[in-house]
């Protein structure tokens, strides 16, 4: 406690140096947060599916038609309307799937050349857990709700509002059903929506995880971005069991010890089975990693140079400040402190400076969230960011402790006291 | 009692600029003594004082303080001696300039391994004993040279050490203030404190009970 109090008192000394050091640390933390978030944005959608992509199996995007000709019998069967049936057919477990339905609510933009029906995506519980898009307002779907809850994309024309009831006109061959759904959340513009594949985002040298998502943008000039509705397949089945929602895309996952030949066979079957796109998970994962590495390599030089400069300058200022405090540490030594306790005083001072800089950085980022800058700066607080900040903090603290110790050990108190 | 036996101190040993500051120096300072160590600049008197203050080391010889062999002490034990057995006064005062007089005087109490209760009162009492109680809350960089040296003395005595070491305590002061400071040291000595003063001022030296002269690192 004495050492901490002494460190606090030391702030009175050299206020200009203290302020420069503090401002530099704030800059380091802000730049680190923005840079790491830039990396995390690229990884976020991959991270959500990493374990699935690392598994054995394949991803299928099914074509939109009513059934499949069974290879064995040659008969058409509506296996696409039952997750369990489809799952059993491909001997896969577990299955993560997106379901869809045909929607008759055609929407027209007065000056648009085309009209568009909303895209409806029913996520199973596993996907709800993993792939919630970032919301602009409202909340995510709740479990066991007594009415069908939907989250909708931000849309300039429809101007959907939270709390509104939307009548979904669903049809399927002979059935036509209107179901009421409550809007509980609005997806942020630029959010990545899983299951909303845009075919132009297919990789040239193979699909990456980016193909599994699309970035929603309601402000595309002259383009009516397809309004998207997301709901829960569990809730649909529970509240409207008569509605048939078909599976639009799914991951078929197999045990690690499943022979590759067996999986290949099932993947080929999926292709014949109305699988518009079939991607082997190994390839999808490898391509995704190559894509992410490429993104990182593009960003790394700027990140490394910028951060190195900032960290080196922050540590240099800390070293200069420590050097200027050496005479005081020599006085403390004469009065009964040990060198390591003097280093602890320096450490406490660095620690409080760093803690204050972290708080101010967090406050600055919070304030930026209310300014136009928030359109270009996205902050993602995750383990990657926490580790990066802790790493920098540790580096700063270690240097703050080691530097005075090295300087103190290389000189006698007498030399330090007589140094101008 | 303080006892030095055959102390040798060499700066930059085995280097081109090797310099022997003290050669086989032996000295005994009895409890309650007030001695002056005099000598020319570079004679080794400050080095001797710093060894006595346990803030400098030496190559050969033995230094005992109250029968404790200093060389065998750990860093923690040494800091304990500096904090509680020795009070040090420097020529340039060695005060923490941005702290108040009271905060400076409280430092040895704060750094002591055994914390005393009422540290603030003890510091104020020490400042009172050098006539500076009313300036306790003034930053020391606002005080005159004489006042600063009094603060330094208050800081040196606040832990009630048995040994007061002073390195040219009047070197930066005018004659009148020097005389006042010497009165403070004499009063401390009257209170049974052992006082060792390094000085090149004969007027200061002659006010001490014993004078030890050092020349070229040797006591003569």
Decide if B108 touches A, using CB distance below 8 A: yes
As a whole number of angstroms, the distance between CA A290 and CA A416 comes to: 55
**Among A12, A341, A413, beta carbon nearest to B55:** A413
Q: Which chain A residues touch B79 with a CB distance below 8 Å? A: 333, 336-338, 341
pLDDT digits (tens, 9 = 90+) for B103-131: 999 999 999 888 888 999 999 999 998 88
Average pLDDT over residues A161-169: 88
pLDDT of amino acid A346: 87
Is there a contact between B56 and A412 if contact means CB atoms under 8 Å apart? yes
Residues of B whose CB is below 8 A from A2: 110-111
Euclidean distance between CA atoms B98 and A1, whole angstroms: 20
- Taking each helix axis as running N to C, give the angle between helix A281-334 and helix B101-111, from 0 to 180 degrees, rounded to the nearest 10: 110
Q: Provide the phi-psi class of A186: left if phi over 0, else alpha when psi is between -120 and 50, else beta.
A: beta
The mean per-residue pLDDT over the stretch A106-129 comes to 70
Q: What CA–CA distance (Å, rounded) separates B67 from A12?
A: 41
- Contact map slice: A 266-285 vs B, CB within 8 A: none
Assess A412–B contact: CB distance below 8 Å, yes or no.
Answer: yes
Q: Which residues contact A213 (CB under 8 A, 6 or more apart)?
A: A45, A192, A193, A194, A195, A196, A197
Q: What backbone phi and psi angles, to 5 degrees, belong to A112?
A: -85, 150
Reply yes or no on whether the pLDDT at A113 is more than 50: no
pLDDT value, residue A199: 63
Structure tokens at A54: 């690392």
Q: What is the ipTM of this complex?
A: 0.92
With contact defined as beta carbons under 8 Å apart, do B51 and B217 qualify?
no
**Chain B residues touching residue A341 (CB < 8 angstroms):** 79, 111
**Contact assignment for A13 to B98 by CB distance below 8 Å:** yes
Residues of B with CB below 8 A from A12's CB?
A: 98-99
What residues of A are in contact with residue B99 (Cβ under 8 Å)? 9, 12
pLDDT of residue A201: 61
Contacts with B88 from chain A: Cβ below 8 Å = 334-335
Question: Is residue B166 predicted with pLDDT exceeding 90?
Answer: yes
Q: Bigger pLDDT: A63 or A2?
A: A2
Count Cβ–Cβ pairs < 8 Å, chain A vs chain B: 69
Chain B residue numbers with beta carbons less than 8 Å from the beta carbon of A339 are 75
Distance from CA of A334 to the nearest CA of B (A): 6
Strands of the sheet containing B60-65, edge to edge, are B19-29, B2-11, B60-65, B68-69
For residue A219, give how far its alpha carbon lies from the nearest alpha carbon of chain B (Å): 59
With an 8 Å Cβ cutoff, are A338 and B46 in contact?
no
Q: Which of B83, B92, B97 is closest, CB to CB, to A335?
A: B83
Instruction: Write down the pLDDT at residue B170.
Output: 87
Contact B110 A338 (CB under 8 A): no
Q: How far is A13 from chain B (nearest CA, A)?
A: 6
Chain B residues touching A334 at Cβ < 8 A:
53, 55, 82, 88, 94
* Probe site for chain A from B22, B95, B111 (most A CB atoms < 10 A): B111
- Cα B84 off chain centre by: 13
- pLDDT category at A117 given cuts 50, 70, 90 is confident
B125 CB neighbour count, 10 Å cutoff: 15
CB atoms A414 and B56 under 8 Å: yes
Is B94–A334 a contact, with Cβ atoms under 8 angstroms apart?
yes
pLDDT, tens only, A194-221: 887 666 666 666 788 888 887 776 665 4
**Residue A91 Ramachandran class (φ > 0 left, ψ -120 to 50 alpha, else beta):** left
Tell whether the model's pLDDT for residue A361 goes beyond 60. Answer: yes
Least confident of A146-150, A193-197, B206-210: A193-197
Q: Do B55 and A331 touch (CB under 8 A)?
A: no
What is the overall mean pLDDT for chain A? 81
Query: Tokens representing B9?
Result: 């101190």
Chain CA centroid to CA A288, Å: 15
Mean pLDDT score of chain B: 90
Q: Which two tokens stand for residue B158?
A: 């606040």
| Cβ-defined contact of B75 to A335 (cutoff 8 Å) | no
Using pLDDT thresholds of 50, 70 and 90, give the confidence band for residue A222.
very low
d(CA A154, CA B134): 71
In whole angstroms, how far apart are CA A158 and each of A111, A152, A183?
Answer: 14, 10, 13
- How close B190 gets to chain A, by Cα (Å)? 24
What's the confidence (pLDDT) of residue A245? 76
**Global confidence as pTM:** 0.73
User: Could you tell me which residues are beta bridge partners of residue A250?
Assistant: A60, A97
Give A362-374 pLDDT, tens digit per residue. Answer: 999 989 888 888 7
Q: Is the pLDDT confidence value at A35 over 60?
A: yes
Instruction: Examine the pLDDT at B28 and tell me if it is beyond 90.
Output: yes
Q: How many CB atoms lie within 10 A of CB A241?
A: 8
Rounded CA gap, A177 and A119, in Å? 16
Return the pLDDT at A26: 93
Classify the phi-psi angles of B100: left when phi > 0, otherwise alpha if psi is within -120 to 50, otherwise beta. Answer: beta
Tokens of B99: 């702290």
């Amino acid at each position: 406690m004495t050492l901490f109090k002494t460190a606090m008192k030391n702030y009175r000394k050299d206020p200009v140096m203290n302020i420069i050091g503090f401002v530099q640390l704030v800059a380091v933390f802000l730049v680190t947060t923005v840079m790491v978030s830039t990396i995390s944005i690229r990884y976020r959608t991959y991270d959500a599916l990493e374990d699935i992509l690392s598994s054995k199996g394949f991803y299928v995007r099914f074509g939109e038609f009513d059934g499949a000709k069974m290879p064995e019998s040659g008969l058409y069967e509506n296996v696409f309307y039952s997750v369990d049936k489809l799952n059993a057919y491909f001997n896969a477990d577990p299955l993560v799937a997106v379901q869809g339905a045909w929607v008759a609510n055609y929407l027209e933009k007065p000056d648009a050349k085309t009209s568009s029906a909303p895209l409806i995506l029913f996520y199973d519980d596993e996907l709800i857990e993993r792939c919630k898009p970032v919301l602009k307002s409202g909340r995510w779907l709740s479990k066991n709700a007594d009415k069908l809850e939907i989250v909708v994309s931000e849309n300039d024309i429809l101007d959907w509002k939270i709390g509104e009831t939307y009548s979904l006109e669903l049809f399927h061959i002979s059935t036509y059903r209107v179901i009421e759904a409550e809007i509980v959340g609005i997806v942020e513009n630029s959010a990545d929506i899983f299951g909303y594949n845009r075919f132009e985002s297919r990789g040239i040298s193979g699909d990456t995880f980016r193909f599994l998502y699309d970035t929603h943008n309601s402000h595309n000039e002259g383009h009516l971005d397809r309004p998207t509705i997301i709901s829960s397949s569990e809730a649909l089945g529970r509240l409207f069991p008569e509605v048939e929602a078909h599976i639009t895309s799914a991951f078929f996952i197999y045990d690690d010890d499943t022979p590759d030949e067996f999986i290949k066979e099932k993947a080929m079957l999926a292709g014949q089975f109305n699988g518009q796109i079939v991607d082997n998970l190994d390839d999808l994962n490898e391509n995704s990693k190559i894509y992410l590495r490429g993104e990182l390599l593009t960003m790394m030089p700027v990140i490394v140079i910028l951060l190195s400069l900032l960290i080196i300058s922050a540590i240099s200022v800390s070293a200069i400040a420590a050097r200027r405090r050496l005479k005081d540490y020599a006085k403390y030594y004469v009065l009964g402190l040990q060198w390591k306790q003097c280093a602890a005083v320096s450490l406490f001072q660095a620690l409080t400076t760093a803690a204050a800089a972290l708080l101010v950085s967090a406050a600055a980022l919070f304030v930026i969230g209310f300014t136009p800058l928030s359109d270009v700066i996205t902050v993602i607080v995750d383990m990657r960011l926490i580790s990066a900040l802790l790493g920098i903090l540790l580096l700063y603290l270690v240097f703050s402790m080691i530097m005075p110790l090295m300087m103190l050990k290389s000189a006698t108190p007498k030399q330090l006291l007589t140094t101008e | 009692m303080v006892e030095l036996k055959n102390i040798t101190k060499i700066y930059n040993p085995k280097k081109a600029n090797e310099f022997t500051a003290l050669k086989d120096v032996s000295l005994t300072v009895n409890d309650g003594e007030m001695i002056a160590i005099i000598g020319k600049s570079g004679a080794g008197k400050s080095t001797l004082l710093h060894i006595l203050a346990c803030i400098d080391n030496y190559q050969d010889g033995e230094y005992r303080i109250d029968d404790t062999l200093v060389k065998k002490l750990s860093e923690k034990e040494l800091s304990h001696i500096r904090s509680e057995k020795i009070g040090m006064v420097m020529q340039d005062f060695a005060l923490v300039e941005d702290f108040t007089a009271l905060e400076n005087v409280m430092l040895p109490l704060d750094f002591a391994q055994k914390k005393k209760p009422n540290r603030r009162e003890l510091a104020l009492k020490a400042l009172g004993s050098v006539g500076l109680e009313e300036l306790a809350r003034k930053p020391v960089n606002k005080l005159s040279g004489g006042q600063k040296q009094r603060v330094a003395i208050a800081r040196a005595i606040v832990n009630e050490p048995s040994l007061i070491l002073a390195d040219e305590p009047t070197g930066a002061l005018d004659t009148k203030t020097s005389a006042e400071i010497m009165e403070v040291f004499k009063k401390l000595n009257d209170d049974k404190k052992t006082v060792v003063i390094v000085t090149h001022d004969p007027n200061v030296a002659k006010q001490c009970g014993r004078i030890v002269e050092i020349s070229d690192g040797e006591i003569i």
